[in-house]
Amino acid sequence: MFSLNEKYRAANLRQMSVQTLVLGRLVVIFLLLVVAWIWVSGRLTLSLETFPQSIFIAFIVSVGLTIVYFFLLRLSSGLGWQVRLQFSLDALLITWLVWRTGDLSSPFIVLYLILISVSSLFLRSFGTVVMAFICIILFSTLSVLTGTGMIESKGPELSLARMIQGISFHVVAFLVVGLLAARLAERSKSSETLEETTRKLADLQVLHERIIESIRSGLITTDLEGKIYTFNSAATEITGYRIEDMVGRSISRLFGDISQEIEQSIVAAAQGEQLPRFEATLSSPEGFAVRIGYGISQLLSETNEQTGYIITFQDLTEIRSMEESVRRKDRLAAVGRVGAGLAHEIRNPLGAMRGAIQVLEANTPAESLQADLMGIILRESDRLNSIITNFLSYARPKVGNFTEIDIGEAIRETLTLLRHSPDVSADHTLEEVLPPQPVFISADSTQVKQIFWNLARNSIQAMKNGGRLTIRLETIGRSRIRIIFEDTGDGMPPERVEQLFEPFAKSTSGGTGLGLSIVYQIIRDHNGSINVRSIEGEGTTITVELPAENRPREVIDDETDRDGSDDGQNKLQELLNVRDPAEKIST
């Protein structure tokens, strides 16, 4: 991708440099013409008598060659032979000008040196030396021809010794300048190569960084001691740690001790096996647990020497949460099928027993021991019936009556009821943080209030010695809302958090352990999510997210049990009919 752009750019630069050479040559000859005219005149007042005709002829020839050079530039893309042709013609033109202006005594011999120096900017070192030898050959040939009288000399007569000295001096000068110019050309070429290599390296580095940043998996590179020196944006997004906070730190700060995992990966790579995958739980800066899956590979240098490690990882929190949700739903389905049948079988004799106790209680003195025992039986039967009712609500939830409700108003009503609850003491502080404008969502009002009541009541019960409960309502864009319950209670250990929404889990309030399970069920039926963050001794934060637009989930109603009280009521009626058909007892 970069080589094509580099070729175009280099070709454009070479063409522009050749154009500059053509125009520069014309400008130099013109200036040379003007300076020579003034020099010959000896004053600023110029006349045609002192006009340098030889230089003018060279200027006219240069104008013609300039037209030819531009025509060749448009006709052919090969610039190398054009540059060599131009320098060769320049050497011939300089030789003619030297002959016309005095041979060995010509002041324009210095143009050979200028030509050799300029050629080093366009030719390689070998081409520059060749150009120097061309100038030496042309100048020496001209000097020999004019010195021997084979062609007419335009300069003063010189002795053989003076002629040999002049030729030798200029040849040495041409050769020295040629060698120095060749060295300059070599350095110039090295500089261009270095610049081009540096540019390519910078482009490759930018490409490398963009590729790393575009990877949606977290990527960390470390040295052999585990010190981090690459931490891409996906790693920041997954872990919550910023790049500047992690570069230079030890990898153990994130993953803990992974020396054993590194050894297993190195052994697998040495044996040509697939690299193993590992899982770990990280803690984000906010205290959230992030489940990740990661792999480790060796970072090798160009000489195949190990210089560090590459760790790639992905966020498995949502995947594991979905797996746990699927397992929980499977358990719920099994519990629902078994529990509905059990509830049906328990409620029937329970109804009959309650009716029988009520009949006996009616014929028992109110202050007797038997009356007290019958009262206990009735209260326990009511509690057992409440447990069955809650269990059926959890195992077979009702289809919600979804309407547009003000979620902020539902929070205010829940806190109003909670303030009058016997669980709330003077040491408890209840605070609500709501937006100034109403927030409407589509939900079942009764079920949403049940969510708020259960979560708020659990928070109060976790603050036995008092504390602060804060409920915040936030909007997430235009499609979702977030309700945060934050208390300063006792908190929970991680294993307790994992089992928090399990049915019949250990309850701190002494209840059945179904309250939060029902909350989870209602939130799921509302297409929402719930997240719990708890630290022992520091409190608990529960975050509930619900969509603004909603439809009730379809609930398949099992016909195993509708109420469970009809059969019991029938048996009770049979019992009453046997004892006394005329007696009316309320059950």
Q: Are 500 and 489 in contact (CB under 8 A)?
A: no
Looking at residue 378, its pLDDT comes to 81
Query: What is the rounded distance in angstroms from the CA atom of residue 576 to the CA atom of residue 557?
Result: 33
**Higher-scoring residue by pLDDT: 45, 330:** 330
pLDDT of 47 higher than 80: no
Q: What letter does residue 117 receive in the DSSP assignment? A: H
What is the SS3 assignment for 216? coil
- Tell me how far apart the alpha carbons of residues 254 and 229 are, in angstroms, rounded to a whole number: 14
For the cut 50, the answer to whether the pLDDT of residue 555 exceeds it is: no
| Backbone φ and ψ of 224, nearest 5° | -65, -20
| Mean pLDDT comparison of 22-31, 179-188, 336-345, 463-472, highest-scoring range | 463-472
Q: Residue 141: which of 212, 208, 91 has the closest Cα? A: 91
For 586, list phi and psi in degrees, rounded to 5: -85, 130
Q: What are the pLDDT digits (tens) for 143-195?
A: 888 877 788 877 777 777 888 888 888 888 888 888 888 888 777 777 767 77
Q: Which residues pair with 294 in a beta bridge?
A: 278, 313
The pair of three-digit structure tokens given for residue 352, joined into one six-digit string:
């009959």
**Integer angstrom CA distances of residue 363 from 350, 353, 356, 371, 379:** 20, 16, 11, 9, 18
- Contact in structure between 459 and 498 (CB atoms under 8 Å): no
For residue 203, count other CB atoms closer than 10 A to its CB.
Answer: 14
DSSP structural state of residue 513: S
Topology classification of domain 216-315: Beta-Lactamase (3.30.450)
- Cα end-to-end distance, the chain, whole Å: 87
**pLDDT tens readout for residues 285-332:** 877 778 888 999 888 887 888 888 989 898 887 787 777 777 767 776
> Where in 488-569 does DSSP place strands (E)?
529-535, 539-547
More confident residue, 1 or 278: 278
Rounded Cα distance, 423 and 467, in Å: 12
Q: Distance of CA 181 to CAs 21, 125, 167, 171, 373, Å?
A: 17, 7, 21, 15, 120
What ranges in 271-368 are assigned the alpha helix state H?
317-362
Rounded Cα–Cα distance for residues 13 and 36 (Å): 34
Kindly state the tokens that stand for 272.
Answer: 């040509």
Q: What is the 3-state secondary structure (H, E, C) of 222-238?
A: EECCCEEEEECHHHHHH
- For 527, the enclosing helix (H) or strand (E) is none
Residue type, 253: R
Closest CA to 89 of 68, 110, 75, 107: 68
pLDDT of residue 561: 42
Sorting pLDDT into bands at 50, 70 and 90, what band is 36?
A: low
pTM of the model: 0.42
Please tell us whether the domain made up of 402-547 is placed in CATH 3.30.565.10: yes
- Select from 261, 245, 244, 247 the least CA-distant residue to 311: 261
Burial class (CB in 10 A: 0-12, 13-18, 19+), 503: buried
pLDDT of residue 433: 92
Burial of 282 (0-12, 13-18, 19+ CB in 10 A): buried
Task: Give the 3-state secondary structure of residue 282.
Answer: strand
* Least confident interval from 41-55, 234-248, 270-284, 477-491: 41-55
Q: Are 536 and 490 in contact (CB under 8 A)?
A: yes
Residue 553 has pLDDT above 60, yes or no: no
pLDDT at 541: 92
- Give the separation between CA 135 and CA 86, rounded to whole angstroms: 14
Give the integer Cα–Cα distance in Å for 220 and 225: 14
Q: Which of 284-298, 327-341, 404-418, 432-446 has the lowest mean pLDDT?
A: 327-341
Query: In the prediction, which pLDDT does 572 show?
Result: 38
Plot region of 103 (φ>0 → left; ψ -120 to 50 → alpha; else → beta):
left
Say yes or no to pLDDT of 370 above 60. yes
Residue ranges of the domains in the chain? Answer: 2-204, 216-315, 316-396+557-587, 402-547
Residue 519 tokens, joined: 């909350």
Could you give the residue ranges of the DSSP H alpha helices within 148-249? 160-214, 233-239, 243-246
